[in-house]
Amino acid sequence: MSFFGTNTATTAPAAPAEKDIEVPETPTDSISSLAFSPAADYLAVGSWDNNVRLYEVGAGGQTQGKAMFGHQGPVLSVCWNKEGNKVISGGADNAARMFDITNGQSQQVAQHDAPVKVVKWIETPQGGILATGSWDKTVKYWDMRSPTPVATVQLPERCYSMDVQYPLMVVATAERNIQIFNLTNPNTAYKTITSPLKWQTRVVSCFTNSASSGFAVGSVEGRVAIQYVEEKDSSNNFSFKCHRKDQTPNAKDQSLVYAVNDISFHPVHGTFSTCGSDGTIHFWDKDARTRLKTFEAAPGPISATTFNRNGTIFAYAVSYDWSKGHSGMTPGHPNKLMLHACKDDEVKRRPKK
């Protein structure tokens, strides 16, 4: 179990309440994935430097590096189990690994024939199951006590993104396929749709605490779609533009279009964030169809975001998102992990118009 640095704690200098706090000792390469523990303010951070780092976040936003474990290739996804004592990660080494924070041991728990793009923990009435989505065009379910998958589901294409709010699981693949699963019958898709967005899907994220089940989809062309699962709610489906800029300040042409890299739903209020290659973050209320907050633009793309378990802390990574391929990874590219203290008026729902 390796800790970052030698000092026991690193405290950010007391900043005015408005300023977001930068986490010291961040990964040495792009940050791909962020996940807070469901039990405490521990943040798991997956990176292209092949490692997963765990940080403890204190009440004032000060952080301490707690542990680190590695893959044989870039880490693409991280998640926690329900108890918050195990971190699971998926990587370009075609494997998923599990790290036990109680004893500092890490072990391989899943295997695919291509990179594991997403790992998600599913808490079922029968117990916890790990779902892994891969570029080998499968989703596999794993019982942590067995080295072979409980089941394998064939996808129409490579898995790009996946999210779970039991019993709903949504899997987005290449070629704009979206498969919706009811996890009471996990081996067959309940519904398969084509993404309502015309371009490649970057992210899907399930609603939290919503009266009807549904999800948000973000694409490479600066658009987000809000989709409900059931036909009876389809009149509430809509899509909107975001993460776009005018070519010149007064052009109003929105011709500079950026990828939506991540969508995170607030665990309490059900509002959500979007972040993009343009370095901006917005908070939205899907029911009032309104924007709640826009962050000041960061000096680089925002690659990943997450809320902590009670929605008081919002973590985001300013990091190269590989949207321009290998050539876009220039020296001196910012690589920062930031913490934002959420205020109620930024994340609370607005009355419907």
Residue 123 has pLDDT above 50, yes or no: yes
What is d(CA 206, CA 118) in angstroms, rounded to the nearest whole number? 14
Q: Measure the CA–CA gap between 55 and 245, rounded to whole angstroms.
A: 34
Band (7; pLDDT cuts 50, 70, 90): very low
Rounded CA separation 45/92 (Å): 15
Band (pLDDT 50/70/90 cuts) for residue 330 is low
pLDDT reported for residue 327: 66
**In this structure, is the dihedral angle defined by the CA atoms of residues 233, 307, 204 and 277, taken in order, positive or negative?**
positive
Residue range 116-141: average pLDDT?
97
Residue 27, judged by CB atoms within 10 A of its CB (0-12, 13-18, 19+), counts as buried
- In which element (H, E) is residue 179 found? strand 177-182
Q: What is the largest CA-CA distance in the chain?
A: 60
pTM of this structure: 0.92
Alpha carbons 276 and 226: distance in angstroms, whole number: 17
pLDDT averaged over every residue in the chain: 91
d(CA 180, CA 183): 9
pLDDT of residue 130: 98
> Which amino acid type is present at position 319?
S
Q: In 3-state terms, the chain is what percent helix, strand and coil (to 5)? A: 5, 50, 50
The pairing of strands 63-70 and 168-173 is: unpaired
Averaged pLDDT for residues 179-186: 96
Residue type at 153? V
What CA–CA distance (Å, rounded) separates 250 from 269? 36
